[in-house]
């Protein structure tokens, strides 16, 4: 018997249409992806109804309810002059974030490495009176303590809504064997330990406001990438820290979000003067045997990686800004954001691909053409080794 031959059938279809329409209206502001998901759900529900009216209606209604609940959590909370702290506000993504959040109406505390630097001065000149520039070297416990005191003094009873750990260093990409231990330590000191210490200092304020902790890591923290052993390891540590804190802070009502951007053009790589110093640092710390095996030409060619990264990175950091905004303002923020081209795909490949397949993809389809160390270009030495 046709499902359309009874009043009950028509009633079920009418209710289903109302549910589906409500979900579609709800997801108008969620972009094309949400619409596609809902349309797929509607199609699946129609197929189910053609098989079994009752169970099709039940399952489809449950689907609509789940999607509606999920989309309801994406609603943005009002700004209401909420206060946020951003580290690394001198330049790059942190600088852009300070301006963006200020424009949205937040009270912004811009932590900078150089309080009298050009980046800090630009923030003072271009942003509203709500923005405060704080001297904040996140590897300096005294400066963290001082920044905390200034934040508490200004926010008073309003509290601090969000901490955005953005400050980071990359240094010169190179083979892991070539990277000096000081560079490993500096990456960990800034990218991991600094973020942890800032988090610990401001967590009492976040617990009080039931606010947000947003850690900006990197795609390199979840995807093994050649020449980024120091940087990637520090970002991987920050990634795991974020996951653990997300679980531990949920009982306090604090939501933790991790942002793993792809390639965006910032000045984290520095300029040619910085590269010269980093190259000299590498050469000065290499044992003679290692320098002989790799060859000075190979070591000096490492700066080509920076040129490649700069060439293929996006100058438009707005995807990162929008994701951080969502992490700070959404009623139910996501645990992970992956702004940038193909970032989520690479994270999935690194997690689920067989190792041999993933390594083959990286070797043949990612990065600049790789030079060979001196010893590997000399067949007679290879045989001796």
Residues written for the chain: 385
Of the listed 100, 184, 231, 312, which one is catalytic? 231
- Residue written as tokens 């991987």? 236
The whole-number pLDDT of residue 283 equals: 85
Sheet holding 255-259, edge to edge: 132-135, 107-112, 83-86, 162-165, 212-216, 255-259, 336-337
Nearest Cα neighbor of 15 from 68, 72, 64 is: 64
| Known catalytic residue at 337 | no
Q: What is the DSSP string of 44-99?
A: HHHHHHHH-HHHHHHHHHHHHHHHHHHHHTTPBPP-TT-EEEES-TTSHHHHHHHH
Nearest 5°: the CA angle 68, 72, 76 is 155
Q: CA 6, CA 8: separation in Å to the nearest integer?
A: 5
The whole-number pLDDT of residue 280 equals: 84
Phi, psi values for residue 24, rounded to 5°: -65, -40
Q: Which residues contact 352 (CB under 8 A, 6 or more apart)?
A: none
What 3-state DSSP class applies to 231? helix
First to last CA, the chain: 81
- pLDDT per residue as tens, the chain (385 positions): 444 455 555 555 565 565 556 555 544 444 444 445 555 555 555 555 555 555 666 666 666 666 555 555 578 999 988 999 999 999 999 999 999 999 999 999 999 999 999 999 999 999 999 999 999 999 999 999 999 999 999 998 888 999 999 999 998 889 999 999 999 999 999 999 999 999 999 999 999 999 999 999 999 999 999 889 999 999 999 999 999 999 999 999 999 999 999 988 777 666 667 677 888 888 888 999 998 998 888 888 877 777 777 777 788 899 999 999 999 999 999 999 999 988 999 999 999 999 999 998 888 766 566 778 888 887 655 545 5
């Amino acid at each position: 018997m046709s499902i359309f031959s009874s009043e009950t059938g028509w009633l079920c279809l009418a209710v289903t249409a109302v549910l589906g329409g409500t979900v579609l209206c709800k997801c108008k502001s969620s972009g094309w992806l949400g619409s596609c998901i809902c349309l797929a759900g509607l199609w699946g529900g129609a197929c189910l109804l053609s098989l079994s009216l009752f169970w099709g209606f039940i399952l489809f209604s449950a689907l609509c309810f789940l999607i509606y609940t999920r989309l309801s959590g994406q609603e943005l909370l009002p700004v209401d002059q909420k206060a946020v702290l951003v580290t690394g506000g001198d330049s790059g993504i942190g600088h852009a974030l300070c301006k963006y959040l200020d424009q949205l109406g937040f009270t912004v505390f811009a932590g900078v490495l150089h309080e009298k630097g050009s980046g800090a001065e630009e923030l003072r000149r271009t942003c509203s009176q709500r923005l405060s520039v704080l001297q904040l070297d996140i590897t300096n416990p005294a400066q963290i303590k001082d920044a905390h005191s200034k934040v508490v003094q200004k926010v008073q009873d309003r509290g601090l809504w969000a901490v955005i750990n953005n400050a980071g260093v990359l240094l010169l990409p190179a083979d892991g064997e070539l990277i000096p231990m000081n560079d490993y330590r500096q990456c960990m000191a800034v990218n991991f330990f600094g973020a942890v210490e800032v988090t610990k200092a401001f967590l009492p304020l976040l617990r009080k406001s039931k606010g947000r902790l947003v850690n900006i890591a990197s795609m390199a923290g979840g995807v093994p990438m050649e020449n980024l052993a120091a940087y990637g390891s520090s970002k991987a540590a920050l990634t795991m820290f974020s996951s653990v804190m997300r679980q531990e802070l949920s009982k306090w009502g604090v939501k933790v979000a991790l942002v793993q951007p792809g390639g965006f053009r910032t000045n984290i790589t520095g300029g040619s003067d910085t590269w010269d110093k980093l190259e000299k640092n590498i050469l000065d710390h290499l044992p003679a045997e290692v320098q002989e095996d790799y060859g000075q030409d190979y070591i000096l060619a490492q700066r080509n990686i920076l040129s490649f990264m700069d060439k293929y990175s996006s100058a438009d950091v707005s995807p990162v800004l929008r994701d951080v905004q969502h992490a700070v303002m959404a009623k139910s923020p996501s645990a992970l954001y992956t702004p940038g081209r193909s970032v989520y795909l690479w994270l999935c490949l690194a997690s689920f691909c067989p190792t041999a397949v993933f390594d083959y993809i990286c070797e043949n389809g990612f990065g600049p053409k790789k030079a060979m160390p001196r010893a590997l270009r000399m067949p007679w030495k290879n045989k001796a080794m």
